[in-house]
Structure 1
Amino acid sequence: MNEIVGIFFIIAILSIAGLIFFHLLTRHRERAMLIEKGADASLFQTEPKKRNLFFTIILGSLLVCLSLGIGLGYVLDNLLTNMSESNVQFDRYRSNDHPGAYFFTIFLMLGVGFISSFFLHRKLILEKKN
């Protein structure tokens, strides 16, 4: 089974490398043919684009909030585990894993991240207009 997985990954990597090589080779040939026909070499140079930082801000705030959600889920899970261990009355219902704590805090913090990215985007738009 491991040999099949290894062969699959080798074939996938070689095929991706072959596609990249083919793309670069055909692009080089196309440019060479255009230059032979008298096209200007500045045709291949592109102007630098203005960077839009909004996507970076959204992604950064969401990843920060996701990590905070995982961390708060860990803290909440430990808190619930300590509370269930101290309460011996419900011994048969006791469980050491609380996946609800992780789901709750991750989705809560992702919601906070979306709301904060909305306000950051609105602030950037207002600054751009002024």
Structure 2
Amino acid sequence: MDATTVLVNLIIFSTLFGVVYMFLTSRNKERLALIEKGADASVFNSGKKFSFSEVIMNIALLAIGIGTGVLVGAMLEQSGLASEVAFTSSIFIFGGLGLLVSIFINKKLEKKND
């Protein structure tokens, strides 16, 4: 690995760490300020929590969408479309469709559970 690759990776990971750190510290400061003013602890409850099965289903449908996108991209490449365009567009389109399907399934399951 050359120096630019190491530098780019270092910048990316330090930026991600900085964003997460700032989010958590500012949230903590905000909560402490609310507690000092006498706010009820129920303010901190964000509401619905995701279950493990919902997360797995979302990841599975995303993976199915990406796999379908790769297959469709290969077919589009065989029909004469440039491989960069065929694969990139197909992966994003079908991956997005997989996530959209997971939203509808989650809403349906939520209504069923209520």
Provide TM-score, normalisation by structure 2. Answer: 0.49
Q: Which has the larger radius of gyration?
A: 1
Q: Which has the higher contact order (CA 8 A, sep 6+)?
A: 1
